Structure 1
């Protein structure tokens, strides 16, 4: 892999993993618009490790409190708001884990058509715009109940459709439940941790099944660049949505989706 390919793929992964714009919609363009060969499973794993590291580091204080409180709750010392947050993240993750494992082969093959991606970008983008435009609430991630977690977790299953965007659909569901923009985004980012672990785990299994030479410099730089871009993305996204909301991302999704449909189908 050359350096430009490493940088482009790492930055795309780092940014689109957390922005509500769909990583699959962007990554599909790389082999179509460049002469680069497929980067391989090993590099995909490295990019996921970078994204995972970024979100864990960014939320390290919240995660530490959640871990301590969850262990205390399991040992019978009572349930506080941090323990409940941990339970709701776990509960919200179950649906996508089950459906993703069962339909992994179908999703990774026949559903990656550009027609599906383009329509999903537009349709779910408009849904995000509606959820953000309507009257919003002020609830934070600490004010959720188990029904809220189930609803957001069920919505996350739709992210298995390429072009939907995992962060986009979970933020949409959270906004419809009366959460604030920042609260919806923070809960979505926390939910990404077990999902990225699962996705990276599946790719690692595939890597062992298909042994290949590993380009260690590319792996290391890919992990670092993906992690750095993801960390900056999380920080500035949370700042930006307080001021302008989700509408710029809605416009981007719709325009991008229309362009994809035109480029590949007309």
Structure 2
């Protein structure tokens, strides 16, 4: 695959055009919010189709599409949390459930912000070693094993009203793993929440709510970096098409994940991630994906 750079930023998506980016936007939207790693899919799908790698900047910017889907799907939770926290502050009710949950989300976001800043020059730069197939494949397999262990040992009894500050910090630390391609933000936080004994659907719900600030930060930062790189109007148009298709597919992904976690378990994602990780390691060993 050909790599494209604009002032050090990986911008391969620009050369793909509207139709291909619209298709990749659908794939990105689905895989961004399911615990199966969008980065892995953005390496596999274009390579199999013989397309240019859309680049890490594309994946990062597409998080704004994930944000739109998360806020839209959980709009009642977001409004209730915002209103409840505001009222608690005005009444100085610092024992409010809403205050604890909001504080937990803030504290849980700090680890990924700190590490994101420290690793910023390695994450979305051209030729980043973190996007290597060996790294992504190994990450997929490790996360599959951790998610499997969580499914086998978790109690699945707690709900989101029982979130403690310590829970938020643990899930927040797990979210840092999402900086490693192949780990998946939703995969790492969902796994941590399951380990803490949350019900499957409540673990997914908390994972998404905790991820809102991180998604805003990562997506917004990448949009700003692209702005500073002075990409052209056509590039913005191509990116816009990807954002639209990714938003729609991301909403479907959330709906699907919540249904699966409510009625079944995370085992389908465990099997899928393990198979994908094995394939990526094989592809790296045989140079199947170049």
TM-score in same-fold range (> 0.5)? yes
RMSD, aligned CA: 2.1
Q: Of residues 98, 101, 106 in structure 2, which corresponds to 1:90?
A: 106
Structure 1 residues 230 and 89, CA, compared in 2 at 3 Å: closer, same or farther?
same
Q: Deviations over 1:165-205 (max 9, x none)?
A: 11111111111111110111001111221111111122123
Structure 1 residues 192 and 201, CA, compared in 2 at 3 Å: closer, same or farther?
same
5+ residue gaps, structure 1, are none
Alpha-carbon distance in structure 2 between the residues aligned to 1:240 and 1:177: 19
What is aligned with 1:196? Answer: 215
Structure 1 residues 156 and 44, CA, compared in 2 at 3 Å: closer, same or farther?
closer
Q: Return structure 1 stretches of 4+ with deviation > 6 angstroms.
A: none
Structure 1 residues 258 and 39, CA, compared in 2 at 3 Å: closer, same or farther?
closer
* TM alignment of 1:250-265, pairs within 5 A: 250-265=270-285
Find the residue that maps to 1:195 and give its secondary structure: helix
Find the residue that maps to 1:174 and give its secondary structure: helix
Contact 1:41 1:207 (C-alpha < 8 Å) held by counterparts: no
Contact 2:38 2:182 (C-alpha < 8 Å) held by counterparts: yes
Contact 1:13 1:51 (C-alpha < 8 Å) held by counterparts: no
Alpha-carbon distance in structure 2 between the residues aligned to 1:166 and 1:43: 16
Find the residue that maps to 2:155 and give its secondary structure: coil
What is aligned with 2:27? Answer: 12
What is aligned with 1:58? Answer: 73
Q: Deviations over 1:96-118 (max 9, x none)?
A: 11111111223342222111111
Alignment coverage as a number of residue pairs: 266
Q: Deviations over 1:102-141 (max 9, x none)?
A: 1122334222211111111001111101101224232112
Find the residue that maps to 2:131 and give its secondary structure: coil
Alpha-carbon distance in structure 1 between the residues aligned to 2:101 and 2:86: 13
- Residue 45 of structure 1: CA displacement? 6.7
5+ residue gaps, structure 2, are 1-15
Q: Are positions 1:68 and 2:83 aligned together?
A: yes
Contact 1:67 1:83 (C-alpha < 8 Å) held by counterparts: no
What is aligned with 2:246? Answer: 226
* TM alignment of 1:1-266, pairs within 5 A: 1-37=16-52, 39=54, 47-79=62-94, 80-108=96-124, 109-215=128-234, 217-266=237-286
Find the residue that maps to 1:17 and give its secondary structure: helix
Q: Deviations over 1:24-74 (max 9, x none)?
A: 111122442334345478865763322211111111111111111222333
Alpha-carbon distance in structure 2 between the residues aligned to 1:125 and 1:40: 24
